Structure 1
Amino acid sequence: MGNDVVDLIMGDHRELERLFDSLLNEPDKRAALVPVMTTLLTAHSRAEESEVYPAAREAGGEDDVEHSQKEHLEADQLALALSRTDPASPDFTTALQQLVDAVRHHVEEEETTVLPGMRERIDEARRAELGEAFLAARQEHLGDQPADITKAELDQQAANAGVTGASSMGKDELKQTLKDAAES
């Protein structure tokens, strides 16, 4: 496998699927697993957004990147809602299923369009460089939760999603603009 960014991303996808299965099928483990899952999901997303999506966009995948970024924004909102829901409450299963469905949909699309496009348009050496950058960024964000986001990270999300004027917006205004973009 090496450090090909496509393989690394797919490895994280498999780990998230494993965590989802445990969360769905082992209710007694939910309280312990939710922060693990949201940490991995957040670190993975931030690494893709900062390192992978700009490179994919440059390589001709602009539409795929914009769509994927909007799905990340939706997943962030769902993960935040889940992290604020008591695992013992009746609302938890619904919140979990919404997140699982959204992320599985994103993974399926990413693995059938974005990632094959990267393999086709980005050479092996560059994918290895991106893999190193992805791993470093993911490591930097381990421990972060969906609400832990800087203005610079919001600016990057806006660039990935094709949202203009982000640099002139305050953090709260930009968060709302990105929320609206995710819902459109």
Structure 2
Amino acid sequence: MSDYTIPRPAAGDITDLIADDHRLFEDLMRDMRDVSADRDGARSAFAAVLIAHSEAEEEVVYPKLVRRDVIEGEEEHHGEKEHAATNEALLHLLQAKGTDTQKFDDAVEAVAEVLNHHIGEEEQTILNPAREDASEELRQQLGAGWAARRNELLEDGAGSLEQVESLVKQAYEDGLLPNDDQPS
């Protein structure tokens, strides 16, 4: 993956681990905007970590925070909808041929807009309640589970064009994305 090494923590407080990935997303987006950077390498790393991160959240973190009454089911569903919207924007980014086109630049900005909105909301409505209302033990347990699943997904090649296409298709089928936008 050229110049990009994705950190693979094995454990930690889930709120810190997720926030660390959010900062990594921001760094990779900055590199995708920089013509002197390895934009294609940044795109590949970004896609891999974004998919592994969000899939692990949906599988490991959100359900347990709902069960423990740390967040509402509505927050979980909203997070899943925002992941779907981000995946759809990521799909357009992955479909851009080359990194020196207006299509690529526009796709980077579209992903940034959706993802920055999600990061802000998630940090306020999911991570802050987890910091305040989840025990240290639970946060560590979630951190270990999330990190293990994230790392497994990274090992399995998370973020491929085919995987993102499949996730977006599934999101339409599950009603997480509005059907009027669905590609034909």
- Classify the TM-score, shorter chain: 0.7 to 0.9
Alignment TM-score, normalising by the size of structure 2: 0.80
Cα-to-partner distance string for 1:15-40 (whole Å, 9 max, x where unaligned): 11111111113365212211111001
Task: Give the corresponding residue for 2:158.
Answer: 144
Which of 8, 12, 19 is the equivalent residue of 1:3?
12
> Does residue 44 of the first structure (1) align with residue 58 of the second (2)?
no
Matches within 5 A, 1:1-184: 3-26=12-35, 28-60=37-69, 61=71, 62-86=73-97, 87-142=99-154, 143-145=157-159, 147-148=162-163, 174-178=170-174, 180-183=175-178
Structure-1 separation of matches of 2:44 and 2:117: 21
Structure-1 separation of matches of 2:177 and 2:138: 30
Instruction: Could you list the structure 1 runs, at least 4 aligned residues long, displaced by more than 6 angstroms after superposition.
Output: none
Contact 1:47/1:137 (<8 A) preserved: yes
Alignment TM-score, normalising by the size of structure 1: 0.80
Deviation at 1:116, TM superposition (A): 0.9
Can you give the 5+ residue segments of structure 2 that lack an aligned partner in the other structure?
A: 1-10, 180-184
Percentage identity across aligned positions?
A: 29
Contact 1:22/1:29 (<8 A) preserved: yes
- Count of residues paired in the alignment: 162
Can you give the 5+ residue segments of structure 1 that lack an aligned partner in the other structure?
A: 155-171
